[in-house]
Structure 1
Amino acid sequence: MSNEHYLHNPLIHRDRRLGRRHTEWVNQFDCTHMRPLIICRGPIRKEAMDVFSEMGITDFGILLSEKDSIIYQDALAPELRSLTDPNRVHRVPDYTGANKEERDQRIAQIINIARENGYNSIFAGYGFMAEDETMVAAMEKAGLNFIGPCSRTVHDAGLKDEAKRTALKHGVSVTPGIDNGTALTLLKKHPDAAALKALAAEHGLIVDEAKLDDDSIELADKADLVLAASYEKGVDIYTVDELCETLTEAVQEMAAEYPENRVRLKAISGGGGKGQRILGIGESARTPELVREILNEVKTTGVGDNKNVLVELNIETTRHQEIQVLGNGEWSMTMGGRDCSLQMHEQKLLEVSVTVESLEAAIEQAKASGNATEQRVLEQDLKTLIAMEDEATRFGEAVGLDSVSTFECIVDRDKHFFMEMNTRIQVEHRVTELCYTLKFTNPENPDDTFIVESLVELMVLLAAHGPKLPKPERILRHNDSVEARLNATNQALQPSAGGVIEYWSDAVEGEIRDDQGISLHNPDTDVFMKYTLAGAYDSNIALLLTVGDTRLDTYERMAEVIRQTNMRGKDLATNLEFHYGLVNWFIGQNINARPTTRFIVPYLTAVGELKQRANNLDVDYAWKQICKAQLAGAAGDSAKALKTALELKQTLLLRPLKTLLEEPHILAGWLSVNRDSYTMVDGKISWNENPIELLDDTYHFLNMDYVEGEPASSMIWDHDDDILGDALAFYQELNNRLDAQDWIELQSVLDSADAPEGISASMWGEIRGAHAGFQAGVDILAVLPNIAEATSYYSLCVNEDLTINIPERLEDTELQEAMAKVLVPPPVAKSDEILAESGGMFYGRETPEHDVYVKQGDHFEAGDPLFIVEVMKMFNKVYAPFSGTIEEVLVDTDGVIISKGQPIFKITPDEVIVVESAEEVAARRRGVTDEFLAQLV
């Protein structure tokens, strides 16, 4: 799993293996009697398997969905490489089912599997059903120990409408909005208690009539009682159309009250980014469409499903922070926070710890450096963290939290609002457990203790012995930690399924990797085993984590981990390069920056602009022009020597350049950490540091250092390494002799023909000649700052108050869409075709109840929806890029798998599409390159 592997197991079992004896108090918390069935997938399944084994729990089994392997051949769960006993692997069609009926069938199937195979407990991880109250209650009713919050907590805290009401009762800040759309819908038709009683009688609903007659109970709460009874019986007493009408009215009212804010719609049973949509300003008419999308996405379209959708004000400058909270049903406590603002489409990408200790250290550092503004912001963050932890503790006690959950908030400068509680362990839980451990102490003997390092382990302990566990003490482990989610996505962060990982380098020192077991080598040959990335579920491949004494230390370690990571495969697309660029952006800007949830798309757009500029530069042409210009001023032996030097250095200089121009995310990272390497002087690029040393740093940044025995394609070539080594040694010796303060001073000394004191005239001539040879051709490196200047890349920056300045152009949706296509060009289509831009599952309509978007003979306008592609839980609606007419529908069956580039429709466009010729492309690139050449000093 990792070279720096943090043990999950408690001291009980770790010490038992070493033959140590324990006290009676410690031994009572033994968990070896637990026989869990793991009903989730992904990295958490492998982690649970490891933790259970380390705890001495050996009789565990797993569910294995057939959905992945049916859709993508050879998509075998990598966990089976270590769990080889077929009696502990139980196959199901999929994990959750497509609707309420299928979910109920799956729950019954899981219970039967547990009974027939002797499992006494259930672990659901952070799978979608982990927060399903019906499932948890069914497990409890079947006598199974659910390793997670009980059904009462899931109901009171997990359902977003119930949670909001509980929060209000206990002084927890909440966002403006309505949480009872279904109740309001019901009351439109049944406006009083008598009407509600009549409705209950009509449908045979079991409702406490005394509560319906109780004048102290609000009418909306009475409607909720009737609704709860209808869900229990599995009947509908309102229609989706009626609900949409109510929610549209609520959106219109909120838009009128807050005209500068968008509105967020959230399914009460959503989570992990699922079941949420944001309505733009003036888009209230789209409410019904988005509500149906939400209900379809969270699979609550069936008869008797709770279809409540919350309407909330969308706080536009939000940072997404969450507090890790835990309890045993009596006491509740927190373990610090996590900042999860770096996300896209509600899917988190990079998560970083937020701890009291880290903030206090950062405050002291800002104070010592005299940065009063940064100090003030950090001090407010500390106050906010303390307040959120306090509210999370009170909320946990209010809902009787008896396991591990997450208290999620949005933060807007000095204000914070409770969003929801996720009644399950989070994907990013290890960010927290790497910062704190928990120390449990015998109330009657302070020397009698044990330590818990893993939240999965804690969940097992709470499920097995919750009421007996005393409230633990949290102990600092590391000040900071960060997690990067390695996902199967393309350069524009769109899900990309079906690729094959054929090689993945081993974890390096300081890397903590959770990867489902993909990294496990063949035990006989020690060879990496191929793995197919299926698309039936989420896009996550692995979780990469690092720790440190400061946030900067942690990010630098993450950058180093990613730098050394090598992953290759067939049709493989991941966000590894994106993470390298993003982490280095923060290192180069300010590691304490406060990004909001709206940062990633503008950032991606800026990266797209870099790529667009890079595409328009002809490096080979630029190199020829630079060589020509330098040779023009030389003659005789000097010209011959210069020509030889340029020829020898061509690959040394161009190989890393071309790599950077080809990889926009890596280029973005390089520009971020090297923004001080040059200065623009009168429109010319002037280096602030020796280009040779910058070139050496660039080879290292690209992980192209010379390593004996490695493939030449992935590192500096040996003869180039010799030239670079000689140049570095030359300048090191020169710096020692001349004692120059910096590169600018050294250049001024070398520009003079007069030899410095202590160096002969002849020696000085040789030195200046060698300098000219080593610097020959390095002007080509200026193509990199040229790209930054041409795109105004550095205008996306961190302000003094740690907010991020996002230039207005990067917020433009048309530019965002255009740059996404620059990062991932769509498949080349004929003028009479519409092609699939990605592989996935095809749907030609909004829901099974809707008509198809388009059929043969239909005319469509640019921007009209044409079809939907589901890739790794993401439903991507495809819109027409231009107007035209459907001549033939080539894919007409919902639920079939399509591939990238596959024709979907034959069409006749309204206008002839003009394609730029190769000659026109070459002329454009030459023109842009000439602009760059004019910037050279």
Structure 2
Amino acid sequence: MKTSNDYYLNNALIHSDRKLINAQSEWVRSFNCEDMKPLIICRGPIRKEAMDVFDEMGIHGYGILLSEKDSITYTNALAPELRKLTDPDRVHRVPDYTGATKEERAERIQQIINIAHSNGYNAIFAGYGFMSEDAEMVESMENAGLNFIGPCSFTQRSAGMKDQAKRTALETGVSVTPGVNNATSLALFAKYGKDGLEQCAKDNNLTVDFASCKDDEEKALALLAASYSAGIDIIVAADIGLALQVEAKRMLAEKPNNRFRLKAIAGGGGKGQRILNSASSYEGATLEEQVEKAAENVPALVLECLIELKTNGVGDNKNVLIEMNIDTTRHQEIQVVGNGEWCMTMGGRDCSLQMHEQKLLEVSVTEEELNTAIAAAEAAGNAAEVDQLKKDLEILAKMEHEGSVFGKAVKLDSVGTFECIVDGEAHYFMEMNTRIQVEHRVTELCYKLKFVNPDNQDDYFIAESLVEVMVLIARHTTRLPAPVRLPREAASVEARLNATNQALQPHAGGIIERWSNCAEGEVRDDQGISMHNPDTDVFMKYHLAGAYDSNIALLLTVGDTRLSSYERLAEVIRRTNLRGKDLATNLEFHYGLVNWFIGQNINARPSTRFIVPYLTAVGQLKEVANNIDLKFAYNQIRGKYLSDAGDNKAAFINALDRKAGLLLRPLDMLFAEPHILSGWLSLNHKNYSVDGETITWLKNPIELVADLYHYLNMDYIAGKPAANMIWDHDNELLQQAVSFYATLNERLGTDNFTDLNQAVAGSAPNGFSAEQWSEVQAAHAGFQAGTEIISVLPYIALQTGYFDLSVNDDLSINIPDALTDEELQDKMAKVLVPPPVAKSDEILAASGGMLYPREAPGMDPFVEVGSHFNEGDPLYIVEVMKMFNKVYAPFSGTIDKILVEGDGVIIKKGQPLFKITPDEIVIVETPEEIKARRQKSTASFLQYVK
């Protein structure tokens, strides 16, 4: 067992410091779970974590279900966990976890039950996988006599379905997002009339107890439930689409500037959700015209939601909610734990930093951390910040209260998440996730649970793993007393390491060839990828196949404050070396983002709309950097020095030429990695000032260069490959300069670079002879020569208005209007990840994945041979790592030939898909034109070099 003061490496356990099996107390021993024999039916980091937890709990007979589509593969095996679980009798294979259709899903459930029974498993662990919130699956397991380690089927139906959860929330006084949750009932009324429900039941041979229903809504729900049980459709998706279209018109007219969100009731993790744009975003002479144009999209969006979740089959519950989309919202969630009788909370997590409804960075929100932040802000005299933090503390208390009330109402008998959106001083319940979540470690690191013997307060045990708590509740149910939560770490933060490119688009197919070991203070959940060959200690290569999601690992750290947790995460990422073939991850994105917050204000409160504007700002940095020729700029600076050098020309030639590699190499690397450039600018924006076209460094450029090499993880280490560190001759020169300034600062009694510059420009101070001072001045001039090139970094920020994206005094984030422009956002995404170079008569695949030429089965394809398309028209859909991306035409033209036909065809990035005739001839720049353009842009930068 580990203690809370330890740091844990590789798939770290975060458990209690006691063993139930060997405990001295009979009461504590009574809660051991070694008779459990679970079958793990999920994948990813949670599967490896469950295996580790089970082992520590003395549960050794578990097995794992292995999908043939597991997203991480390596030679001769389908999952890294197989290195640990080498008993073939405990590894069971299925085609996939859920099946592609309703029929296949039912078949898979029965297959899992048969595997469990035939192999002696008595429990099922679904983690946060595809089946963890499937009420039908959970009920089937329960009926088969299997102990489901997670919320029971009653809770799944009461809280897992978004419409029922919203009804429960309203009944229990929980704040809910304004919207409509009964689209199926409305569709039923529209089709049959409220007086025609009984006739509908007779016509379809459905038995419904209408007499026990208190109103028409209950009658409709009862009739619909009967139709689902019978496996027939009394309404179809088109009916629901039309019913929601009517509601959408009303909502759009009432709030024409608001966007709305459509959500299929069984969705999760952003799946089965679509955004309906505001009425005001459409052209029209009147509001009525704008509303009509906006509402025209509703039926198609409803269909998309259902198809994405595969709930458009006959007999499926096709209910779709429509809610006001609060664009300035923060996404916060409360960890809830219950055993069916008691229910308590374990603080919150802020998950606002997300894109495409997929979370990227999650941070703890606890009353202890907020109180610490309030005290620090009060000490610093930041009144607006104090006010916001106090509001957050009040909102957290309300959300925790409502979370426990709601959990008790749905008889939560495991762990779940009470998800909310926060808008200003208001909060709204969004949904409950009836499962453990990916980011549960964020909570584990901050709190542990103390279970006390009701008859003896000195007799207790402590659990620090939520997976362990799930097992305890599943095994001992209502015997388990309500625990007391105890603070553990002050703050924690988690970064999701995903296989995505610099624009955060899924990137499948890469191979991880090397991954550095965990750094001190790093918690890494990576499904076991980092495990080396036990015989040779050689790192095994891993192929990211991409059948499921893009997640590779979860990286976590803790700290005494939110700032220290972020700083520790930045240090972990800095030291991480992840390399491979055709490998793209969001590691650089996280490094830049974490440092953005460290440099701006760690207590900033970003909304869920922050990431895309932030990416756009980073794209603008890259766009300006692409137009600067660093070598040309340095040669121009060199030439200016030589023209002004007089008799010292030879000395300056030597100094400038020796420093060329030292200065240009790290700049080249920042230019190549705009996310890392973003982080550096944020950390250093207080180290310079700008007056007109003059950039003045407030920190010694030599120190900045030394810091930059460290920031890039390129410190000199003997024996380290030269490609990964500062070159030895550059390091020798840099250390000479650093040592010189350290000594000079000490002798002058200052560490202020402005004061040092003024002193060196004057006559010799006390303690220096005239000859010594002359040598100091010459050394200073030599060391500083050429460092003007570093001013290119703040110049890029100035050109893009990068720091206009900033944190306000009240901790909200100022997002310039330009960064919300969709056209600019699309353009900058292409700057970050340029599309494949195509011939003028071809359109190439923007990414690898599975191609679908139509919106949904049975619908017409987007384009056919002879079709004319306009710029921005949809051409096809590509599914990458379970994300469906609609690809739009980059220009106008006509389809001459379709090169890839069929649904679900696997394509590769850069593969020709269409032969086309463009409406206009695309003009390609010559190398000479590119060079001239870059030198012209570089000349503009040189105006800032004095």
2:568 counterpart letter in structure 1: R
Q: Tell me, in whole angstroms, the C-alpha distance in 2 between the residues paired with 1:458 and 1:205.
A: 42
TM-score, with length taken from structure 2: 0.97
Q: Tell me, in whole angstroms, the C-alpha distance in 2 between the residues paired with 1:886 and 1:72.
A: 40
1:311 counterpart letter in structure 2: I
Structure 2, unaligned stretches of length 5 or more? Answer: 1-6, 280-293
State the Cα deviation string for residues 654-674 of structure 1 (Å, max 9, x = none): 110100011000000000000
Q: Which deviates further from its counterpart, 859-868 or 20-29?
A: 20-29
2:265 counterpart letter in structure 1: I
Matched, 1:771 2:786: no
Matched, 1:269 2:304: no
Matched, 1:374 2:380: no
- Aligned pairs (5 A) from 1:59-78: 59-68=61-70, 76-78=78-80
1:870 counterpart letter in structure 2: E
Q: Tell me, in whole angstroms, the C-alpha distance in 1 between the residues paired with 2:66 and 2:903.
A: 25
Query: Are 2:73 and 2:80, in contact at CA under 8 Å, matched by a contact in 1?
Result: no
Partner of residue 755 from structure 1, selected from 764, 778, 786: 764
1:246, CA displacement in angstroms?
Answer: 0.5
Change (3 A) 1:504 1:71: closer
The SS at the match of 2:461 is strand
Query: Are 1:99 and 1:301, in contact at CA under 8 Å, matched by a contact in 2?
Result: no
Instruction: Give 1:659's aligned residue.
Output: 669
Instruction: Give 1:466's aligned residue.
Output: 477
Instruction: Give 1:725's aligned residue.
Output: 735
State the Cα deviation string for residues 214-235 of structure 1 (Å, max 9, x = none): 4xx1211210111111111111
Partner of residue 630 from structure 2, selected from 585, 601, 619: 619
1:197, CA displacement in angstroms?
Answer: 2.0
Query: Are 2:570 and 2:594, in contact at CA under 8 Å, matched by a contact in 1?
Result: yes
Instruction: Give 1:139's aligned residue.
Output: 141
Fraction of identical pairs, as percent: 64
Q: Tell me, in whole angstroms, the C-alpha distance in 1 between the residues paired with 2:207 and 2:725.
A: 72
State the Cα deviation string for residues 420-459 of structure 1 (Å, max 9, x = none): 0000001000000100000000000011100100001100
Change (3 A) 1:399 1:495: same
Instruction: Give 2:102's aligned residue.
Output: 100
Q: Tell me, in whole angstroms, the C-alpha distance in 1 between the residues paired with 2:918 and 2:204.
A: 53
Q: Tell me, in whole angstroms, the C-alpha distance in 2 between the residues paired with 1:72 and 1:12.
A: 36
1:776, CA displacement in angstroms?
Answer: 1.3
1:865, CA displacement in angstroms?
Answer: 0.9
Instruction: Give 1:791's aligned residue.
Output: 800
Query: Are 1:836 and 1:903, in contact at CA under 8 Å, matched by a contact in 2?
Result: yes
Q: Which deviates further from its counterpart, 382-391 or 643-652?
A: 643-652
1:208, CA displacement in angstroms?
Answer: 2.2
Partner of residue 894 from structure 2, selected from 870, 885, 895: 885
- Aligned pairs (5 A) from 1:462-861: 462-636=473-647, 638-752=648-762, 754-861=763-870
1:672 counterpart letter in structure 2: S
Q: Tell me, in whole angstroms, the C-alpha distance in 1 between the residues paired with 2:108 and 2:102.
A: 10
Matched, 1:246 2:243: yes
Matched, 1:3 2:5: no
Structure 1, unaligned stretches of length 5 or more? Answer: none
Instruction: Give 2:286's aligned residue.
Output: none
Query: Are 1:861 and 1:880, in contact at CA under 8 Å, matched by a contact in 2?
Result: yes
2:930 counterpart letter in structure 1: V
1:402, CA displacement in angstroms?
Answer: 0.5
The SS at the match of 1:409 is strand
1:920 counterpart letter in structure 2: E
Instruction: Give 1:25's aligned residue.
Output: 27
Instruction: Give 2:230's aligned residue.
Output: 233
| Count of paired positions | 926
State the Cα deviation string for residues 55-90 of structure 1 (Å, max 9, x = none): 110111111111248999877211112111111111
1:128, CA displacement in angstroms?
Answer: 2.0
Q: Tell me, in whole angstroms, the C-alpha distance in 2 between the residues paired with 1:32 and 1:471.
A: 22
Query: Are 1:510 and 1:546, in contact at CA under 8 Å, matched by a contact in 2?
Result: yes
Q: Tell me, in whole angstroms, the C-alpha distance in 2 between the residues paired with 1:4 and 1:202.
A: 60
State the Cα deviation string for residues 271-297 of structure 1 (Å, max 9, x = none): 011111111112221111111111111
Query: Are 1:12 and 1:27, in contact at CA under 8 Å, matched by a contact in 2?
Result: no
The SS at the match of 1:67 is coil
Matched, 1:925 2:934: yes
Q: Tell me, in whole angstroms, the C-alpha distance in 2 between the residues paired with 1:675 and 1:852.
A: 51
Instruction: Give 1:330's aligned residue.
Output: 341
1:712 counterpart letter in structure 2: A
Instruction: Give 2:217's aligned residue.
Output: 220
State the Cα deviation string for residues 695-715 of structure 1 (Å, max 9, x = none): 000000000000111100010
1:258, CA displacement in angstroms?
Answer: 1.3
1:210, CA displacement in angstroms?
Answer: 2.8
Partner of residue 180 from structure 2, selected from 172, 178, 182: 178
1:699 counterpart letter in structure 2: Y
RMSD of Structure 2 on Structure 1 (CA): 1.4
Matched, 1:404 2:415: yes
Instruction: Give 1:115's aligned residue.
Output: 117
Query: Are 2:10 and 2:526, in contact at CA under 8 Å, matched by a contact in 1?
Result: no
Instruction: Give 2:164's aligned residue.
Output: 162
1:209, CA displacement in angstroms?
Answer: 3.8
Query: Are 1:481 and 1:546, in contact at CA under 8 Å, matched by a contact in 2?
Result: yes
Instruction: Give 1:281's aligned residue.
Output: 278
Instruction: Give 1:129's aligned residue.
Output: 131
1:756, CA displacement in angstroms?
Answer: 1.1
Q: Which deviates further from its counterpart, 563-572 or 676-685?
A: 676-685
The SS at the match of 2:657 is helix
1:887, CA displacement in angstroms?
Answer: 0.6
Q: Tell me, in whole angstroms, the C-alpha distance in 2 between the residues paired with 1:383 and 1:635.
A: 69
Q: Tell me, in whole angstroms, the C-alpha distance in 1 between the residues paired with 2:807 and 2:313.
A: 47
The SS at the match of 2:840 is coil
Q: Tell me, in whole angstroms, the C-alpha distance in 2 between the residues paired with 1:935 and 1:550.
A: 39
Query: Are 2:71 and 2:546, in contact at CA under 8 Å, matched by a contact in 1?
Result: no
Instruction: Give 2:877's aligned residue.
Output: 868
Change (3 A) 1:275 1:477: same
Q: Tell me, in whole angstroms, the C-alpha distance in 1 between the residues paired with 2:917 and 2:526.
A: 46
Change (3 A) 1:693 1:165: same
Instruction: Give 2:282's aligned residue.
Output: none
Change (3 A) 1:771 1:276: same
Change (3 A) 1:479 1:2: closer
1:774, CA displacement in angstroms?
Answer: 0.8
Matched, 1:200 2:206: no
Change (3 A) 1:92 1:103: same
1:416, CA displacement in angstroms?
Answer: 0.1
Q: Tell me, in whole angstroms, the C-alpha distance in 2 between the residues paired with 1:5 and 1:101.
A: 36
Q: Tell me, in whole angstroms, the C-alpha distance in 2 between the residues paired with 1:11 and 1:725.
A: 47
1:610, CA displacement in angstroms?
Answer: 0.2
Change (3 A) 1:74 1:622: farther
State the Cα deviation string for residues 540-596 of structure 1 (Å, max 9, x = none): 000000001100000000000000000000000000000000000000000000000
Query: Are 1:7 and 1:453, in contact at CA under 8 Å, matched by a contact in 2?
Result: no
1:181 counterpart letter in structure 2: A
The SS at the match of 1:906 is strand
1:3 counterpart letter in structure 2: L
Instruction: Give 2:4's aligned residue.
Output: none
The SS at the match of 2:58 is coil
Instruction: Give 1:81's aligned residue.
Output: 83
Q: Tell me, in whole angstroms, the C-alpha distance in 1 between the residues paired with 2:807 and 2:732.
A: 40
Q: Tell me, in whole angstroms, the C-alpha distance in 1 between the residues paired with 2:194 and 2:807.
A: 55
Query: Are 1:8 and 1:54, in contact at CA under 8 Å, matched by a contact in 2?
Result: no
Partner of residue 435 from structure 1, selected from 427, 446, 461: 446
TM-score, with length taken from structure 1: 0.97
The SS at the match of 2:297 is helix
1:309 counterpart letter in structure 2: V
